[in-house]
Amino acid sequence: MVQIDTDYIGDLRCEAEHGPSGVTLTTDAPEDNHGEGRSFSPTDLVATALGTCIATILGIQAEKHALDLDGIEISVEKEMASNPRRIASLRTDVTMPTALDAQTRERVERAARHCPVDESIHPDIEVPITFHWPGGGAAS
């Protein structure tokens, strides 16, 4: 179990503390929802969680199978819906630094597509993940 403590600090900003480490982060409402966009919004953190979770799962695969995957780049594009206001999609591009054989590539992609955050996202949210491999190969 992990506890996150959040304080509302005013002006649509919050400060959250990660219980085990004491690390804090600040959120701010986005400009299109009454805020100033001075930091991550709460929904930005969902997109951040997805990208970092995929990267972590790929790192675990790299350790488990002695793969050199340092330099993976992940970009998550969050799109909001307006009625109700919610995340509509999290389009994710994963740029892989190393070419892998087809079997290893399939295993790595499958693991990334089943990261805990992706598995926790509501099914109404579109979460397409596209892998870009050296040599121009892309897989959705």
Beta strands 129-132; 85-95: pairing state: parallel
pTM of the model: 0.92
Task: Show the tokens assigned to 13.
Answer: 């900003």
Cα→Cα distances 67→51, 70, 99, 111, 135, Å: 20, 9, 10, 14, 18
Q: Which residue ranges form the domains of the chain, and what is each CATH number?
A: 4-33 (no CATH), 47-139 (3.30.300.20)
Length of the chain measured in residues: 140
Task: Specify the pLDDT at position 88.
Answer: 98
Cis geometry, peptide bond prior to residue 84 (ω within 30 degrees of 0): yes
- What is the rounded distance in angstroms from the CA atom of residue 139 to the CA atom of residue 65? 21
Task: Specify the pLDDT at position 138.
Answer: 62
Task: Specify the pLDDT at position 135.
Answer: 76
69 CB-near residues (< 8 Å, 6+ apart): 58, 59, 61, 62, 96, 97, 98, 108
Tell me the average confidence (pLDDT) per consecutive run of 10 residues in the chain, 140 residues long: 97 97 97 93 98 97 94 97 95 96 94 97 97 77
Task: Specify the pLDDT at position 75.
Answer: 98
